[in-house]
Amino acid sequence: MSSYRKFEVGFHSFMLIFAIGLITSALISEGGPAREPLYIILGIGFVLTSTFRLWKPKNR
């Protein structure tokens, strides 16, 4: 595995974990500004793009 591929896998794995944490914190938060739907949508976007980039077949 090339060093770029290792970096790509590590970066997208981190983004996936971050997105899951973002969604979880938005779901369990209490009070405060009503930004939870925005954070949930943002987290879902991160999850989808990270998952796609991790499991996208390489054409090399």
pLDDT (tens place) for every residue of the chain, 60 residues total = 789 888 999 999 999 999 999 999 988 888 777 888 899 999 999 999 999 988 876 655
Residue 7 placed within a domain: yes
Contact (Cβ atoms closer than 8 angstroms) between residue 20 and residue 47 = yes
Q: Please check whether residue 60 lies inside any domain of the structure.
A: no
Count of structural domains, the chain: 1
- 26, part of any domain: yes
Query: Which domain range does residue 25 map to?
Result: 3-55
23 in a structural domain: yes
The reply to whether 50 falls in a domain is yes
Question: With a threshold of 0.85, does the pTM exceed it?
Answer: no
What's the pLDDT score for residue 54? 87
Do the beta carbons of residue 23 and residue 39 sit within 8 Å?
Answer: yes
Residue 25 in 3-state DSSP?
A: helix
